[in-house]
Amino acid sequence: MLSTITRYSAKLNILMMAGSRMKLELSKVVQGRCRLGQLKEIGRMGQHSLDIPGCLLYTHLGSVPHLTQDTLHTLSSLPTATQVTLSNIAEHQEVLDEFKGGFKTFAGLHDTVLYCSLHDSAAHSPTGHTTNKTVSVWGSGGRTELTVAKFMALQRTVQPDWYQAMADGETWQTGTSRKRVRKSVDRSLAHLDECLMVHQKSQELDGVSVFGVVEGGDILEERLRSARETAKRPVAGFCLDGFQTGAMDQALRSQLIAAVTEELPEDKPRLLQGVGRPDEVLACVEAGVDLFEGFFPFQATERGCALCFRFDVTPDPESAGRARLTVADEERHAAGETQPNGDLNCDDQTHMTRFEMDLKDKRHQDDFRPLVEGCGCYCCRNHQRAYVHHLLVTNELLAGVLLMIHNTSHYHSFFRAVRDALANDKMDLLRRRVLGTVKE
């Protein structure tokens, strides 16, 4: 296996960089690892740019969950890049082939950069179906098995601006053997090389960027190997896989990510898959991550919860007060009040976190304040907690719409706050603010 990989990579070094128009401009690096900057000239025409640290716009088949383009555009600033996943798209390959115009046009998307990933980090994928040559994705109709050939055929018909190479990331379960982890690294490298070969030959993918996927589970050696090898390939950036919330604790995650990013070129972006909790985001930014997936607001929405964690670090007391919860709310958060919903499985990701409030709770029944004071989103400008509570209690569809709008807005504002904090050396304060441990 190893010699095959070496042979392929030798060939590839001669070939052109895969869609390497994407340029990373760093304006600041803290402790040699934590980066602030801009990813420029992204998109097929190189017409977009993305601030980092940043996050992607999470969608189901191109639609932000619950939202139409009208409700989506009540948000004043949307992330530049929209994420779609092959798990949603694979079953529609025939339709897209016949349509011929690419997914963006098919979905009637606004002007955006389309990023295509393999899996949906907010959806549970059964394991045990990966082979040396294939990975599987789960859509509404069941399982679709992908070879690299089929994977690339999908990319050619989707016509994204940027995609991740096919990879084997089934290492997040506890007790994954070292042998299995090694296999995932080998397979992912092999898949990457094959993807790049096909990419070079595909006219439809001209100007499209490919990210290599770094695997390695929780084994440092394998992580380093995967990082070093992937870095040798002509990719535009790197996905860090197998780190999802629930796979390992943050301490180990930070340690491994820091080690991995040491092996990656400074001038290429790093996208972390499967991590969205604000505290984990902050830690991973400090470990060297540039981009995150945007599924966390969706998960909170599905729980009937509104994101409400603070992220203001401005010295101005007035503006600092605007996003304030009541003293009672803060006390509850500090006390670690995170009641999981009753009907859930044990998946870590579906439990309510300390960063949100449960609007189904009776205490919101006659609370006529907005979800978060000072939040400028459509929901907070037009509606109150009591109304959203009512919608949730009566199982009304509008609850999902309003919560998705608010949660998306709150989360993306958080990323803006991260960038501001980095620029102004206030990361420490931001972390304490987000965790609710700032004493006033």
Partner 1 sequence: MSTVGGNMAAPITSEADGNIKENSMFLKKTLSAVPPLTLRIVAECPVTKARACDLTLPHSSVSTPVFMPVGTQGTLKGITADQLEGLGCQICLGNTYHLGMRPGPELIEKANGLHGFMNWRRNLLTDSGGFQMVSLVELSEVTEEGVKFKSPYDGKEILLSPEKSISIQNSLGSDIMMQLDDVVSSTVKGPRVEEAMHRSIRWLDRCIAANKHPDKQNLFAIIQGGLDAELRKACLDEMTKRDVPGFAIGGLSGGEEKDDFWRMVTLSTDHLPREKPRYLMGVGYAVDLVVCVALGCDMFDCVFPTRTARFGSALVPWGSLQVKQKQYAKDFQPIDPDCQCPTCKRHSRAYLHALFKSDTAAMHHITIHNIAYQLTLMRSVRQSIVEGRFPEFIRTFMKRMFPSPDQYPGWAVEALTSVNVTLE
Binding residues (CB under 8 A) for partner 1: these are 60-71, 74, 88, 91-92, 94-95, 98-99, 106-108, 139-141, 365-366, 368, 378, 382-384, 386-387, 390-391, 393-394, 396-398, 400-402
CB of 110 to partner 1, least distance (A): 9
* CB-nearer residue toward partner 1: 40 or 60: 60
Nearest distance from C-beta of residue 166 to partner 1, angstroms? 21
Cα angle 19, 20, 23; round to 5 = 135
**Cβ-based neighbours of 423, under 8 Å, separated by 6 or more:** 27, 28, 36
Judged by beta carbon, residue 296 or residue 387, the one nearer partner 1 is 387
Closest CA to 385 of 313, 320, 436, 326: 326
Decide: residue 322, CB within 10 A, 0-12 exposed, 13-18 middle, 19+ buried. middle
We find the least distance from the C-beta atom of residue 381 to partner 1, in angstroms, to be 9
CB of 386 to partner 1, least distance (A): 6
Nearer to partner 1 by Cβ, of 40 and 363: the residue is: 363
Instruction: Tell me whether residue 153 or residue 320 sits nearer to partner 1 (CB atom).
Output: 153
For partner 1, which is the closer residue by CB, 123 or 231?
123
CA angle 328, 329, 333 (to 5 degrees): 115
CB of 8 to partner 1, least distance (A): 35
**Cβ distance to partner 1 smaller for residue 404 or 434:** 404
Q: Give the three-class secondary structure for 386.
A: helix
Query: Which two three-digit tokens encode residue 205?
Result: 């993918």
Nearest approach, Cβ of residue 222 and partner 1 (Å): 34
- The tokens describing 257, both together, are 């990510």
Of 108, 106, 65, 66, nearest to 89 (Cα)?
A: 106
Least distance from partner 1 to the Cβ atom of residue 114, Å: 15
List C-alpha distances in Å: 210 to 112, 192, 239, 269, 300: 17, 9, 10, 11, 30
116 is written with which tokens?
């295509």
Rounded Cα gap, residues 233 and 12, in angstroms: 7
For residues 69 and 437, which CB has a smaller minimum distance to partner 1 in the complex? 69
In the structure, how many helices (H) and strands (E) does the chain have? Answer: 17, 16
What token pair was written down for 120? Answer: 């949906």
Nearer to partner 1 among residue 292 and residue 378 (C-beta): 378
Q: CB-based burial of residue 79 (10 Å sphere; 0-12 exposed, 13-18 middle, 19+ buried)?
A: buried
CB-nearer residue toward partner 1: 289 or 359: 359
Ramachandran angles phi, psi of 278, nearest 5° = -55, -40
Helix %, strand %, coil % for the chain, to 5?
Answer: 40, 15, 40
Least Cβ distance, residue 435 to partner 1 (angstroms): 32
CA-based nearest residue to 215, from 275, 257, 252: 257
| CA 116/CA 26 separation, integer angstroms | 24
Q: How far apart are CA 191 and CA 149, in angstroms?
A: 10
Report, in Å, the least distance between residue 148 CB and partner 1.
Answer: 24
Closest approach of partner 1 to the CB of residue 348, in Å: 24
Q: Phi and psi (nearest 5°) for 107?
A: -90, -5
Please say which residue, 108 or 265, places its beta carbon nearer to partner 1. Answer: 108
